[in-house]
Amino acid sequence: MFSGFLTARRAIRSGIFSVMMLCAIHPVAAQPPSMPGADTARARLAPLKWLVGEWAGPATISSGGRTFTLTQRETVQEAANGTVLMIRGRGSMLDASKVEREVFQAAGLLTYDIGLRRFTWVSSGGTGHLGVTEALVTDSAFVWSTGDRGNMKTRYTITRTPAGEWYEVGEESSDGVTWKRTIEMRLVKH
């Protein structure tokens, strides 16, 4: 009987030790690995961490002499151990029968390339064309372009408003000096 008690006591002690070890290891396992390149990339992306989450709000589009408003939704996630921001955008409008229909999809990926020592933006607007461009990230803005289309240049600028909103402006220029606004959106985090 006494040996049975010792065996049960050892089993309980062993189980408690195992649980304590798992609890001690778990927080470490949940953290991204520390590597000089990854640490640099995460640090360079840090000013944009506020973007991570679900966003929605109105977007005003000007195209072909027409202006219309749609509902824009953006999902931003960290990926690859926090060295990449993935952005997925979806725009929808009410059709003639007042049913909301998705009319626009886009996806982008932002990373800091330690080899090139610059931010790289890879994007697609769902047209079959892939844009790979350099991006500018500061403490207050994220600016990128989709590349030149013939003689037309495009750029997009995201800033955070004092109220914490995502404010984005899209612009086009034929000379790179004079810019015409084509998109304006103000999104709130959900």
Is a pLDDT exceeding 60 seen at residue 110? Answer: yes
C-alpha triplet 67, 69, 72: angle, nearest 5°: 135
Largest CA distance in the chain: 92
How many residues are listed for the chain in this entry?
190
Query: Tens of pLDDT along 24-65?
Result: 444 444 556 678 789 999 999 999 999 999 999 999 999 889
Which residue would you say has higher pLDDT here, 126 or 12? 126
Nearest to 40 by CA among 100, 113, 116: 113
Is a pLDDT exceeding 50 seen at residue 19? Answer: no
Is a pLDDT exceeding 70 seen at residue 12? Answer: no
Which residue would you say has higher pLDDT here, 30 or 124? 124
Which range (3-12, 26-35, 43-52, 166-175) has the least confidence?
3-12
Q: Residue 18's Cα: distance from chain center in Å? A: 38
pLDDT classification of 17: cutoffs 50, 70, 90 = very low
pLDDT classification of 23: cutoffs 50, 70, 90 = very low
C-beta of residue 43 within 8 angstroms of C-beta of residue 36 = no
pLDDT at 47: 96
- Strands 84-94 and 66-79, bridge-based pairing: antiparallel
